[in-house]
Amino acid sequence: MAEIHKVGTAITAVLLGGTVVAGALVGQNTNANSLQPKAASALQNAGISGVNVSFKGREAYLTGDGATDAQLQQAKQVVEGVYGVRWATVSGGASSPQTTATPTPAETVTPTPTPTATPTPTETATPTQTPSETATPTPSETATPTPTATPSQPGTSLTAAQIAQINNVAIPFANGSFSLGATAKKNLDAVIPLLAQSSVNIKIDGYVSLPHPAGRETIDSKRRAQAVADYLVKNGIDASRITVVGDGSANPVASNSTSAGQAANRRATLTVS
pLDDT tens track for 169-217: 999 999 999 999 999 999 999 999 999 999 999 999 999 999 999 899 9
Same domain, 265 and 171: yes
Task: Determine the distance from the C-alpha atom of residue 1 to the mean position of all C-alpha atoms in its chain, rounded to a whole number.
Answer: 60
Query: How many separate domains does the chain show?
Result: 2
Which DSSP helix (H) or strand (E) runs through 270?
A: strand 267-272
E strands, 57-212, are 59-63, 87-91, 129-130, 138-139, 170-172, 202-206
pLDDT value of residue 29: 56
Within-domain flag for 12:
yes
Domain final residue pick, 30, 65, 91: 91
Domain final residue pick, 39, 69, 91: 91
Domain limits for position 179: 160-272
pLDDT value of residue 55: 85
Within-domain flag for 108:
no
Within-domain flag for 11:
yes
Prior bond of 147 cis (ω within 30°): no
Instruction: Tell me how many degrees the CA angle 166-195-197 measures, rounded to the nearest 5.
Output: 135
pLDDT value of residue 264: 96
Domain final residue pick, 75, 91, 107: 91
Within-domain flag for 141:
no
Please give the residue that has the higher pLDDT: either 238 or 42. Answer: 238
From 69, 89, 93, select the one nearest 80 (Cα to Cα): 89
pLDDT in tens, 74-119: 888 888 888 888 878 887 665 444 444 444 343 333 444 544 545 4
Question: Against a cut of 0.75, is the pTM above it?
Answer: no
Within-domain flag for 128:
no
Q: Which of 34-38, 59-63, 181-185 is the most confident on average?
A: 181-185
Within-domain flag for 101:
no
For residues 54-65, average pLDDT: 85
pLDDT value of residue 93: 60
Same domain, 168 and 263: yes
CA distance 230 to 109: 7
pLDDT in tens, 217-245: 999 999 999 999 999 999 999 999 999 99
Identify the bridge partners of residue 55 per DSSP, sorted by sequence position: 60
pLDDT value of residue 154: 44
Within-domain flag for 35:
yes
CATH number, domain with residue 231:
3.30.1330.60
Identify the bridge partners of residue 63 per DSSP, sorted by sequence position: 52, 91
CATH number, domain with residue 60:
3.30.1340.30
Same domain, 167 and 75: no
Within-domain flag for 201:
yes
Percent of the chain residues past pLDDT 90, beyond the cut: 42
